[in-house]
Amino acid sequence: MSTMDTITMLIPLKAEYVSIARLTVSGIASRMGFDIDTIEDIKVALSEILGKFIEKKSGTGRVNVDFQCLEDGISIKFKISDQSIPELFDNDTDKFALAIISSLMDEIEIEKQGDNSITMVKKLGKAV
């Protein structure tokens, strides 16, 4: 698997598709050599972000997810075409989701200018 290859997925913003994205990322992460625990962490973090997108924007189009294979890890970028990123973690009940993502991933960046995206990164060899 060479560096900088990107697999992209476009997923309808509906709850029933989140488990499919989870399955896909587990395949990618396992091929990249992540261990089982870390794969689980990545699946959870991915689901949390997709879950929040769906809660705030349910039914409105698709979310674009880029899985980029880096030399030392994976970078996962979420975008909604022609739409701004909603406030994903604005209310009380979102605190668990944000705590989970921040703990499990090495980096999370919410980009509200420019291309309106959320990117999270997990490095190889770093289970929580």
Partner 1 sequence: MFELNTESNDGKNVVISVKGEIDIYSAPDFKESLYQSINDVQQNIILDFSDLSYIDSMGLGILVGALKRVREKDRNITIKNPKSTVRKLFRITGLDKAFIIEEV
Which residues contact a second copy by CB under 8 A? 1-2, 5-12, 14, 16-17, 19-20, 23-24, 26-28, 31, 62
Residues with Cβ within 8 Å of 102's Cβ and at least 6 positions away in sequence, in order, are 108
Q: How many residues bind partner 1 (CB under 8 A)?
A: 24
Q: Is 40 helix (H, G, I), strand (E, B) or coil?
A: helix
Q: Closest CB to partner 1 among 41 and 119?
A: 41
- 5: DSSP letter: -
104 binds partner 1 (CB under 8 A): yes
Q: Closest CB to a second copy among 79 and 89?
A: 79
The whole-angstrom separation of Cα 21 and Cα 68 is: 14
Kindly state the smallest distance separating residue 90's Cβ from ligand ADP, in Å.
13
Q: Closest CB to a second copy among 21 and 104?
A: 21
Phi, psi of 56 (to 5 degrees): -90, -20
The whole-angstrom separation of Cα 113 and Cα 54 is: 21
Q: Closest CB to ligand ADP among 71 and 92?
A: 92
Strand partners, 7: 67
Phi, psi of 52 (to 5 degrees): -65, -40
Give contact residues for partner 1 (rule: CB under 8 A): 15-16, 18-19, 22, 37, 40, 43-44, 47-48, 50-51, 54-55, 93-94, 96-97, 99-100, 103-104, 128
